[in-house]
Amino acid sequence: MEVVPILARGGCDIVELGIPFSDPLADGATIQQASFRALQSGVTPQLCLDVAGKLRQQVSVPLVFMTYLNPVLYYGFEEFCRACVGSGVDGLIIPDLPPEEGAELETVTRSQGLDLIYLLAPTSTEERIRLVAERSRGFIYVVSVTGVTGARESLPDTLAAFIARVKQLASQPLCVGFGISTAGQARQVGQLADGVIVGSQIIKLMETDDGFKSVDSFVRELRNALDEVSPTKEP
């Protein structure tokens, strides 16, 4: 409740909210630990929906849930999507839902006006890229590395070629995540893609005891770095 308004004021275009799951297979150690602590503290999908609803009263930026299929399936596709709309959530990222198996949830999300955002990895074939380009709504989540989320010291040399390959087949904005942890990396990615996704580094900074000043400073650094790349782009 405290951090999301800081992110919005600092220049974040979209805020991703995580619904914890016991087997977060796409996430690295930082988010795994955060998910574990959340589950131990009794955080449920319903509580996340309630928090999103309260945040919607405070911020105007789009809110996107990132979670795994099991909690959504257990809640019920129709019920969950209706609840998301009621809480002011704009989209869903579900890393363990491949587009080949997403038709049912796609139908429900479209009927409710939610964006179902698919991921592409560096190992994605041309066939998979075409499928995601056809089905993903809002934007495409481009995974920068073959691996899990988490801050990294450098980005792979193959990233530019991968993004170029996706651009040839997709018309949606491409937002790159997994491993971005500095303003310099964000600037590098901003020269290649439409958006930069940062998660683990922000969670690490949230754990420092400084009243979230480091979070605010870091987000503003990211915003400034991206504005240097595209100064005419609206935040």
Q: What does the alpha-carbon distance between residue 158 and residue 174 come to, in Å, rounded to a whole number?
A: 16
Q: What does the alpha-carbon distance between residue 89 and residue 106 come to, in Å, rounded to a whole number?
A: 16
Q: Which amino acid is at 37?
A: R
Q: Which of 2, 23, 27, 127 is catalytic?
A: 27
Q: For this structure, is 127 an active site residue? A: no
DSSP 56: H
Q: Look at residues 89, 81, 92 and name the one whose alpha carbon lies nearest to residue 59.
A: 89
* Total Cβ atoms within 10 A of residue 29: 12
Tell how far CA 159 is from the center of its chain. 18
Tokens for 2, please give them.
């405290």
Q: Which amino acid is at 163?
A: I
**Which burial class, exposed, middle or buried, applies to 143 when counting CB atoms under 10 A from its CB (0-12, 13-18, 19+)?**
buried
With left for phi above 0 and alpha for psi between -120 and 50, is residue 44 left, alpha or beta? beta
Q: Are 84 and 108 in contact (CB under 8 A)?
A: no
Q: Which of 2, 13, 16, 234 is catalytic?
A: 16
Q: For this structure, is 16 an active site residue? A: yes
Instruction: Please give the positions annotated as active site.
Output: 16, 27
